[in-house]
Copies of this chain bind each other. A is one copy, B any other.
Amino acid sequence: MATPRLVGVVGMGLIGGSLARRLVGRGTAVVAWNHRPHPYEQAERDGIRCVATLADLVEAAPDVIVLCNPLKAMPAILAELRPLLDAAPGITLTDVGSVKGMVRDQVEAAGLGERYVGAHPMAGNELSGWTAADPHLYDDALWAITVTDHTDFDRFSAVARLIVDGVGDRLIVLDDDTHDKAAAMISHMPHVVATALINELTDDANRNIAAALAAGSWRDMTRVALTDPDRTRAMVEEDAENVETLLRHMADRLTTVADLLHDERTGVNGDGEAVDVAAWTAMRAFFAEGQPFRDYKARQKAIAGRTASTETDSADMPRYEEREIGFSPDRWQSDLLASARRGEHIVAFEDAYKVRVQRRSAL
């Protein structure tokens, strides 16, 4: 499968608008539709072909359509696309949603599962809408592509090459569940934790005193609790099962430390048994457990520093360990998932079943 030459973009907000501008700027043609035409005049000047209806979009025969509409508009848009796409079997469908299992369920419910490949770019900022669209949003960005055992390899390949060649980004290949569990780990669950922190302060009789003493650590840990709580709640509920599991893990970890602090302080555990040095040893273990993550962040920082200090020859000096990996035509899903588990990010296709990877996120 060659790199897509014409890409359809549905929804020209921050993510879709930036993507359309990025693709056109790098030489891939884009046909775009938005539920309201207000971005069209500027977009046409930027070289983006804008169309009045989804029927016109399908008519233009893009290789891939990228759904960049809000998640809540997804069912209506899929219902409208379904009959249009019946006459265009070659068009592959992808999206940019931040929860993959739910989107696939919607796509399959609309009878479009066979042609769908999930995608989620790690890109965004605090802005929204076409006026904030900026091709640099995708600079050095990572995308997660999600597939199932039934995903057609050519459709996967079309989306993957769109990302690597068209957008110029990196990618990892996951199944929906692995993606949604990881998103729960690094975003959805921590949003609940930050919200619980501001609730705990708000409930405190001495809350004005606590707020007075608050410094950088408190500000950093509660920043995400200040963003729109309804949007956060929706995000958490869309990934409910994974967030639930992680919240129970976190509650157990915090209770364990509370018990250790009690045991250290009193010399006796909850069952009245002397704890000797056991509590102190366990407490040291709690603070040592995350050391692989601290070491990983220190390595990342060192690489960033080395890149900054050798700017002139950075093209010749890869910042991360690179290698080529082949994968099986029959087990490409699991081969590429194993690569992602090793912390490798795909940066180029060498041929159909061989990619170049950088070891970017290995703890």
Contact = CB atoms under 8 A, between A and B. Distances in A.
Interface stretch (A40-48, A70-78, A89-97, A174-182): A174-182
B230 A190 contact: no
Say how many copies of this protein the assembly contains: 2
A187 B222 CA distance: 11
A229 interface: yes
B341 A208 contact: yes
A355 interface: no
Majority SS of interface residues in chain A? Answer: helix
A149 interface: no
A208 B248 CA distance: 22
Contacts of A362: 208
Interface of A: 122, 124, 142, 144, 172, 174, 178-179, 181-183, 185-187, 190-215, 217-218, 220-226, 229-230, 232-233, 236-237, 240-241, 243-255, 257-258, 261-262, 264-265, 283-284, 286-294, 296-297, 340-343, 345, 360-363
A210 B185 contact: yes
Contact of A287 (B174, B186, B233): B233
B186 A250 contact: no
A134 to B, nearest CB: 16
Most B CB contacts (10 A, CB to CB) among A144, A209, A217, A236 go to: A209
B221 A194 contact: yes
Contact of A211 (B223, B241, B261, B296): B296
Contacts of A258: 243-245, 247-248, 251
A249 to B, nearest CB: 6
